Amino acid sequence: MLDAGAIEKRARQILREGRELSPGAYGHGYLDPEELDRILTSGARDAMTILRPLERLSRVKAYRALVLERELDLEHLGVYWALDEAHAEPYWGVARGEGPIIEVLLKASVARGSVDWLTSAALLALRGPDELELRVRSGARVFLESVDGVPYNEWARA
């Protein structure tokens, strides 16, 4: 079960590591410590409100947008997912080859135990509800339901 103190602690760890956030994000020298404390306290409460009901589900819906220039790699669907379709964006989707480039939206479900709830909550506390990121554990099995709204079994045959 998520706890506000643990969420704030993980958020501060993420800020120290600096790997999860872009240079303009909270904690990169742009906010004084009191403002950061206020944001994290409020953000941790918001994160618990959003994620606690999902923690109880056996499977969680997840969405991911990708830019592809080759076949979809079903073995490596990634750890960065969104909690709803509107927040699924291909942030780092840059094509490097000369093949056809397409953007796809994946809809999947993930077992409750395959979600890193604490990191998901900490990122939500840091970024706010404008980015509803769900962090899936590395190597976790993701059940792909559809690609661009087409059931996966039909899309794979096309």
Decide if 93 contacts 67 (C-beta within 8 A). yes
Give the pLDDT of residue 27.
Answer: 44
Measured between alpha carbons, how far is 58 from 149 in angstroms, rounded to an integer? 23
Give the pLDDT of residue 24.
Answer: 46
Rounded to a whole number of angstroms, the distance between the first and last alpha carbons of the chain is: 42
Domain that holds residue 72: 4-157
Decide if 136 contacts 81 (C-beta within 8 A). yes
Q: How many CB atoms lie within 10 A of CB 65?
A: 18
Query: For each successive 10 residues of the chain (158 residues), what is the average pLDDT?
Result: 87 75 48 75 90 92 86 84 90 58 89 94 86 90 90 76
Measured between alpha carbons, how far is 136 from 134 in angstroms, rounded to an integer? 6
Tell me how many domains the chain contains: 1
Decide if 74 contacts 144 (C-beta within 8 A). yes
